[in-house]
A and B are shown apart, each in its own frame.
Chain A
Amino acid sequence: MTLLRRQLPLLITFITGILFAAQYYVPHPSSELMLTSVSKWLQIIGGFALILGVTSLFHIHAVKIRRKEPGWGYSFILYISMLGTIVIGLWHGGKETVDGVATAFGWIYSYMMVPLQGTMFAILAFFIASAAYRSFRARSREAAVLLIAAVIVMMGRVPLGEYLIPVSGDISQWILNVLNASVRRAILIGISLGAVALSLKIIFGVERAYLGGGKE
């Protein structure tokens, strides 16, 4: 059992990890062919992950409905909406339009999903404004610097700001291009080095959390 649960996955991870790290630097046709095949596998696995995700969602909300947990009504609506969309989607072969005419699936997409998602995102503007009023305060020197930078960038990114204070656009560009870019780059380099270190730990079997929490 240990062989299947521990040693074999570790061996597969080690071999594939080394192989594909090296593959990037080998432009030989057989190396490229191997990458083509594996990328196709990954796409297929990606498809199965979708099924796994939907199944998991169904399971979580089924439990909530069965136990009548707070907000179970929303889970019920989710169930009906999801099942309804899946059935209608399969009925129309996943097509939103046929010969330029919208199908029922297309109608759900265009007149329910698009406006609902748009609304969810749009109300963020109201909450951001309210949150900015309540919490964006110059409580320290650092907060004051952040506040001033934010105000300049907000002014420089809209025509009214550039109209009232023409230099605000250039200062905003400088903040984004120099200050922001350099700090972001430092963060990115840190993250990348961390990712390389983690990859090496996974390849060499030091990090084994992906195998699950069972005891050896």
Chain B
Amino acid sequence: MTFAERMLRIDRRIIFLVIGLCTLIPLLYPVGLAIKISPEVRSVYDYIESLPEGSVFLLSLDFDPASKPELYPQAVALLHHAFKKNLRVIGMTLWLPGTGMASEVVTRVARVEGKVNGKDFVFLGWSPGGSSVIINMGQDLYKAFPTDYNNQPTKDLDVLKDVQSLRDVTYVISLAAGSTGIETWYVFGKDKYKFELGGGCTGVIAPGLYPLLRSGQINGLIGGLRGAAEYEVLIGKKGRAVAGMDAQSATHFAIILLVILCNTFYLLIRTPRDKAAPGQH
């Protein structure tokens, strides 16, 4: 067995160790490289900046704890921004396993910003039905959510004054980890009830949402931890996302290096027959 063949059969635990170290070391010793702001993240920021005080901002936290590392920092940054701008914030989720986490992040950031539940913000919780919930909210918000997550009747809340349905919401952002997320909000919500829609998502589903962005179906997109880090830079409140970017840089480069190495070894062991018929593998 040649050296190249041995390297191609390397114990995968060595790769795991490399990735582990590439994640751990930058977290312990951060470098803090500059983060460039992408146009799609800036669009979300600029739109929220342009909203007048008291505008209704709905944040749908459509993810479960599995996607917390990427989407939780996005939620924190967006909520800080919305509360700083004195927007009326409505929190909710279309993902049942994410309800507790969504409630925690909305109330925690609101407390930090000195906002009052029921007056400045409300967390509606989760309701079954996915897309049906959006249609129901578009028809009558109080029928979709007669009470909020704390069992307070939604009709009595100051934060929802003059809000009858999704038609009265100025801006909706869905932070999504998969289906029942941004696309659902567009198809069943924005298209019919005519509010502006933005999105935030995990890095893995971001490429699939670029067609919506390019066509103006969503006005901005915060993609993955990188998007969250960009938003933290924009609001001047560096948090977990910025802290995680060095680790992400290191792991990306480790994977790139591994791919280059494996291709180098692969080219070295290719037989003349392989070269003649590259598509046969």
Contacts and interface: CB of A to CB of B under 8 A. Distances in A.
A161 interface: yes
Contacts of B8: 134
Q: In terms of DSSP, what is the predominant structure of the interface of chain B?
A: helix
Interface in A102-118: 106, 109-110, 113-115, 117-118
B69 A118 contact: yes
B261 interface: yes
Given A24-B192, A118-B65, A118-B66, A50 B15 contact: no
A109 B99 CA distance: 10
Contact of A47 (B128, B251, B260, B262): B128
A35 B263 CA distance: 57
A45 B281 CA distance: 49
Contacts of A115: 65
B19 A159 contact: no
A96 B132 contact: no
Contacts of B281: 139
A155 B39 CA distance: 18
A154 B16 contact: no
Interface in A183-209: 184-185, 188
Interface string B258-281: 111111001100000000001101
B254 A173 contact: no
Contacts of B248: 158
Interface residues of B, number: 73
Interface string B46-84: 000000000000000000111111000000000000000
A109 B104 CA distance: 12
Contacts of B267: 138
A113 to B, nearest CB: 6
Nearest to A113: B65
A46 B128 contact: yes
Given A46-B128, A154-B255, A161-B252, A121 B211 contact: no
A24 B138 CA distance: 13
Contact of B258 (A132, A138, A157): A132
Interface of B: 8, 10, 12, 15-16, 18-20, 23, 33-36, 38-39, 64-69, 96-97, 100-101, 103-104, 127-130, 132-133, 135-136, 139-140, 143-144, 192, 203, 206-208, 210-211, 213-215, 224, 226, 245-246, 248-256, 258-263, 266-267, 278-279, 281
30 contacts: A32-B139, A39-B129, A43-B128, A43-B144, A47-B129, A49-B128, A114-B101, A117-B64, A117-B66, A125-B19, A126-B15, A126-B19, A129-B16, A130-B16, A132-B262, A133-B15, A133-B259, A133-B261, A133-B262, A137-B266, A154-B252, A159-B36, A160-B252, A161-B249, A176-B207, A181-B210, A181-B213, A181-B214, A184-B207, A185-B215
